[in-house]
Structure 1
Amino acid sequence: MAAPAHGEDSDDGMDEFMETFKTRKYKNAFNESNWEEEFDKVPMFMKTAPEEINPEKHPDLACIQSIIHDDERTPEEQARSLKDEGNEYFKEKNYKKAVVSYTAGLKKNCVDLELNAVLYTNRAAAHFYLGNMRSSLNDATAAKKLKPDHIKAILRGAQCCMELRNHTEALEWCDEGLRLLPTDKKLLELRAKADKHKREAERDARKAQIKAKKEKNEREALLAAIKERGIKLLKPTPSQHRASDGEEDDGGSSRALADLELDGIGSQEATGARVYMDEQGLLHWPVLFLYPEHSQTDFISAFCENSSFIDHLAVMFGEELPPWDTERKYRPPNLQLFFEDHKKGNLYQVDLEKSLLNVLQNQRFTVKAGTPSFIVLVSGSPFCKQYLSGKKVQRLK
Structure 2
Amino acid sequence: MKIEEELDAEDRLISEWEKRRYIPRPGEPQLPPQLSDMAEKTTEDVMKELNRLPFFMTELDETDGEGGENETLEALKSLAYDGEPDEIATNFKNQGNDCYKSKNYKAAINYYTKGIEVDCGVDTITSALYLNRAACQLELKNFRSCIEDCKKVLLIDPKNIKACFRSGRAFFSVQRYEEAKQILEYGLTFDPENKQVKDLYQQIVNKEKAIEEARLKKEREEQKEKMRLDILKNSIKLRHFSILKSSRPAEMLEDAKIRLENETDYESQLIFPAMILYPTTDEFDYIAEISELATPLEILELVLNRPKEWFEDPKHKNFSIKKLECYMETESGGLVKVGKKLSINNALMNDKPKAPLFDNSLRLYVVPKVEAPEWISKWNKDIALSKRQA
Alignment of 1:282-297 (within 5 A): 282-291=268-277, 293-294=281-282, 296-297=284-285
The residue type equivalent to 1:276 in the other structure is L
Task: After superposition, give the CA deviation of every residue in 1:170-225 in whole Å (9 maximum; x if it has no partner).
Answer: 43333222222222221122223233333333334333333333333333222222
C-alpha deviation, 1:154, in angstroms: 1.7
In the alignment, what sits opposite 2:292? 305
Shift of 1:108: 5.2
1:351 and 2:336 equivalent? no
The alignment partner of 2:255 has SS state of helix
Of residues 70, 74, 77 in structure 2, which corresponds to 1:63? 74
Cα contact 2:325–2:369 (8 A) shared by 1 = no
TM-score (norm 2): 0.59
* 126-135 vs 79-88, greater mean Cα deviation: 79-88
Give 1:178's aligned amino acid. Answer: L
Q: Which amino acid aligns with 1:214?
A: K
Give, in whole Å, the separation in 2 of the partners of 1:91 and 1:60: 31
Query: Is the 1:68–1:82 Cα contact (8 Å) retained in structure 2?
Result: no
Aligned partner of residue 342 in structure 2, secondary structure:
coil
How far is the alpha carbon of 1:298 from its aligned partner?
Answer: 0.9
What is the RMSD of the two structures over their aligned residues, measured on CA atoms?
A: 5.5
Alpha-carbon distance between aligned partners in 2 of 1:111 and 1:323, rounded to the nearest angstrom: 97
Q: Partners in 2 of 1:134 and 1:335 — Cα distance?
A: 76
In the TM superposition, what is the alpha-carbon distance from 1:332 to its structure 2 partner? 3.8
> Counterparts of 1:324 and 1:109 in 2: how far apart (Å)?
97
The aligned counterpart of 2:378 is: 389
Q: Which runs of 5+ in 2 are unaligned?
A: 1-30, 383-390
Note the alpha carbon deviations across 1:285-312, whole angstroms, 9 max, x for none.
32231546556541323x3322323323
CA distance in 2, matches of 1:142, 1:62: 34
The question of 1:208 aligning with 2:215 is answered no
1:181 paired with 2:168, answer: no
Q: How do 1:16-165 residues align onto structure 2 when only pairs under 5 Å count?
A: 16=32, 55-56=62-63, 63=74, 67=78, 90-95=100-105, 101=110, 121-133=131-143, 136-137=146-147, 140-141=150-151, 143-144=153-154, 147-165=157-175
CA distance in 1, matches of 2:157, 2:309: 79
* CA shift for structure 1 position 54: 5.1
Paired amino acid for 1:282: S
Residue 360 of structure 1: aligned partner: 348
State the match for 1:253 in structure 2.
Answer: none
CA contact (8 A) 2:89 2:120 kept: no
Q: Is the 8 A contact 2:116 2:130 kept in 1?
A: no
Mapped to 1, the partners of 2:236 and 2:346 lie a distance apart of 13
In structure 1, the residue corresponding to 2:62 is in which secondary structure?
A: coil
Cα separation, partners in 2 of 1:379 and 1:188, compared to 1, 3 Å: same
SS of 2:159's partner is coil
Q: Is the 8 A contact 1:222 1:277 kept in 2?
A: no
Please name the residue that 2:255 is paired with.
270
Structure 2 CA distance for aligned equivalents of residues 346 and 139 of structure 1: 77
Distance 1:284 1:19, change over 3 A: closer
Is there any run of 5+ residues in structure 1 with no aligned partner, and where?
1-14, 237-244, 246-266
Give, in angstroms, the shift of residue 66 of structure 1.
6.0
Partner of 2:206: 196
Could you tell me how far apart the structure 1 residues matched to 2:161 and 2:298 are? Answer: 75
**So what's the TM-score if we normalise by structure 1?**
0.59
**Deviation at 1:392?**
4.0
Structure 2 residue identity aligned to 1:270: D
Contact 1:43 1:61 in 2 (8 A): no
Change (3 A) 1:356 1:184: same
Retained in 2: the 8 A contact 1:290–1:297?
yes
Q: Shift in Å at residue 45 of structure 1? A: 9.7
Deviation of 1:161 (Å): 3.9
Q: Which has the higher helix share?
A: 2
Q: Equivalent residue of 1:299, what SS?
A: strand
1:227 matched to 2:237? The reply is: yes
Relative to structure 1, is the Cα distance of residues 202 and 107 closer, same or farther in structure 2, using a 3 angstrom cutoff?
same
Distance 1:357 1:111 in 2: 89
Shift of 1:374: 0.8
Identical-pair percentage: 19
Amino acid at match of 2:294: S
